[in-house]
Structure 1
Amino acid sequence: MQMNWIKPLLLTVLVSVLTLTGCTTSKDKLLPHDDNTMLTVWNAGTGGSTVSGQHGQQLLDARQHLRRPLSESNADASQYTRNAQNEIYSQFKRLPNPDLVMYVFPHLAGTDPVPVPGYSTVFPLYQRVQYAMPGERVETY
């Protein structure tokens, strides 16, 4: 019963020793400073050649093949492209929310009665925009 304080003490000493040994790695050993530039590192990672070499020419040819111009038939591909806006509008149709036009008559406003000329303002009938569930509303308005 008297030895219960030894286990936490040993655990604390063990954790501190492991923590200190993890910090003993030198920066130069972990990140060596060679004469390599970013270009040489990039070339080594992408096949070991420069763009002027034969492998680089094959790469440029493949890229040029992929960069084909848009023809007239696929120039308007926006209707076939999925994005957040047309996904929401195609699945969840907006329910009609008519605008109301209100005329505010000329009046006095404020603590010092200041004349305000008459004006018109527009606001929606419903406070929030309402959406139909998919398939619930198919007609346009």
Structure 2
Amino acid sequence: MNFPNSLVVILLAAALTGCATSKEELMPHGGQTMQDIWRHSAGGDSGDNLSQQALLDARSDLRRPIGDQPMVEQRIQYTRNAANEIYSQFARLPNPDLVMYVFPHVAGGEPVPVPGYSTVFPLYTMPEYAMPGEMAIPDMNALERPIRRR
């Protein structure tokens, strides 16, 4: 028998021996559940009310009231969103709306009467933006004004 063949036989025997090991021999768990392990590491058994009370006290110390109004206002002002980022760097230049009246007319291949109506057109075709630092921060309420149709 030459060397490569004997090496293959030895490796095959080692692999088969490794597969014969049971899970319990390799990783015994001792019948403990995750809850038992957690309770043991927390410093008490399942019947120990003192350690359970200590855990509840520690948790209640960490909790803060949700309705803390000054803290909520501070978080809202700090919150970043896309609108705040865009409007704080690239302010939109004023683009006044023109209210126009369209007189009654007929339209289409077959003349169809269209009643008169009012509509709104922006003065400029595209919105223009200022470069960073060219304008003050715009009023957010003025930018979100709905278009009024008459």
Superposition TM-score tier, normalisation by shorter sequence = 0.5 to 0.7
- State the partner residue of 2:89: 91
Higher helix share: 2
* 1:122 Cα deviation from its structure 2 partner: 0.6
Letter in 1 for 2:38: G
Distance 2:111 2:57 in 1: 76
Normalising to structure 1: TM-score of the pair? 0.52
For these two proteins, the number of residue pairs brought into alignment is 99
SS across alignment from 2:62: helix
* 1:73 Cα deviation from its structure 2 partner: 2.4
Q: Which runs of 5+ in 1 are unaligned?
A: 1-39
Q: Which runs of 5+ in 2 are unaligned?
A: 1-32, 140-150
Q: Output aligned runs, 1:16-95, within 5 Å.
A: 48-49=38-39, 54=51, 58=55, 61-62=58-59, 65-77=62-74, 78-95=76-93
Letter in 2 for 1:85: A
- Root-mean-square deviation (CA, aligned residues, Å) is 3.6
Distance 1:123 1:138 in 2: 26
Letter in 1 for 2:119: T
Superposed CA deviations along residues 84-115 of structure 1, whole A, max 9, x for unmatched, are 22122122211111111111111111111111
Normalising to structure 2: TM-score of the pair? 0.49
Q: Write out the 4+ residue segments of structure 1 that deviate beyond 6 Å after TM superposition.
A: none
